Amino acid sequence: MDDVKSILIVEDEPRIRSGLVDFLEFHHFRPTAAEDGLQAEQIVSKHRFDLILLDLMLPKISGEELCRKWRQEGLTTPIIMLTAKGQEKEKVTGLDLGADDYITKPFSLEELLARIHAVMRRTDPAKSVGRRFHLGPLAVDLSALKIAAAGRQKTISPRQGKILQLFAANPGRIISREELYRNAWGESMEEIETRTVDMHIAKLRGLIEVDPAEPALIKTVRGAGYVYEADHELAGPE
Ligand code: CA
């Protein structure tokens, strides 16, 4: 099976673009390059990538506009935004638009590589934690769709399993409702779906929390999303 990851580089500066192509090839990725927003849009309409490196300031269509458009169209490919120094506001906007991470230019290639691996790991929780994993005191088995804690077993739905897997792969990291939805539902989120996510989390808490009103495993972060507190593992009941 071909496990080489494909990466689309969207960057108008020729030196950076070719540097990234060489670097990613050297690290066993399969890079494709686009030099402006329009070209990137055409490439993405025809090909699937494992990750997109998207420059913010681009001719023809900006990175910001592209990111927003792709997410609205339901593209779930992880996106890392390349921003220049002093674009702090845009950075935040970039994440709001559905980018998974950003890196500020000038960046070291080693740092970029670390970010690429991190984004791939967390957007591919199946690879990161597998089908049997622990979430605090819970033992989760996705093949059997069972969770077990303190000798008691419960059945979960495939979607609940996906959500638990995403949290287990991202201890301590706040996961937005948008990211949760993209991962567990496999599509981009419409405005109205935030409630769907919240309702699913509430139901899930009923299954996994000792006291669903005072969640210890999956906590709400006001205005940001949810976080799995891995520290709980150290203080788990037994
Ligand atoms: Ca640029």
Domain chopping of the chain, boundaries: 6-123, 129-228
From the CA of 191, how far away is ligand 1's center (Å)?
30
- CATH topology of 6-123 equal to that of 129-228? no
Counting beta carbons within 10 angstroms of the beta carbon of residue 98, is it exposed (0 to 12), middle (13 to 18) or buried (19 or more)? Answer: buried
> What confidence tens digit (pLDDT) does each residue in 25-76 have?
999 999 999 999 999 999 999 998 999 999 999 999 999 899 999 988 888 8
- Residues 168 and 228 sit within 8 Å (Cβ to Cβ): yes
Task: With CA atoms as reference, report the closest residue to 149 among 160, 140, 162.
Answer: 140
Q: How far is the CA of 32 from the centre of ligand 1 (A)?
A: 17
Ligand 1 centroid from CA 224, angstroms = 29
Query: Which pLDDT value is given to residue 238?
Result: 40
Is there a cis peptide before residue 106, judged by omega within 30 degrees of 0? Answer: yes
> What are the strands, taking DSSP E only, across the chain?
6-10, 30-34, 51-55, 79-84, 101-105, 132-135, 138-141, 146-149, 152-155, 218-221, 225-228
DSSP 41-53: HHHHHH---SEEE
Q: Give yes or no for a contact between 53 and 60, defined as CB atoms under 8 angstroms apart.
A: no
Buried-exposed string 127-146: b where 16+ CB fall within 10 A, e elsewhere: ebbeeebebbbbebebeeee
165 Cα to the center of ligand 1, angstroms: 36
Ligand 1 centroid from CA 209, angstroms: 47
CATH, domain range 129-228: 1.10.10.10
CATH superfamily ID and name for 6-123: Response regulator (3.40.50.2300)
Q: How far is the CA of 21 from the centre of ligand 1 (A)?
A: 16
Cα separation of the two ends of the chain: 43
Single-letter amino acid, residue 162: K
Instruction: Note the pLDDT tens digit of each residue in 146-172.
Output: 999 888 899 999 999 999 999 998 888
Read off the pLDDT of residues 187-229 as tens digits, 9 standing for 90 and up: 766 666 778 899 999 999 999 998 999 999 999 999 889 999 8
For residue 2, pLDDT over 70 is answered with no
Tell me, in angstroms, the distance from the centre of ligand 1 to residue 62's CA: 9
Q: How far is the CA of 100 from the centre of ligand 1 (A)?
A: 19
Query: What spacing in Å lies between the alpha carbon of 82 and ligand 1's midpoint?
Result: 8
Q: Is the model's pTM score more than 0.75?
A: no
Calpha distance 203→164 (Å, rounded):
12
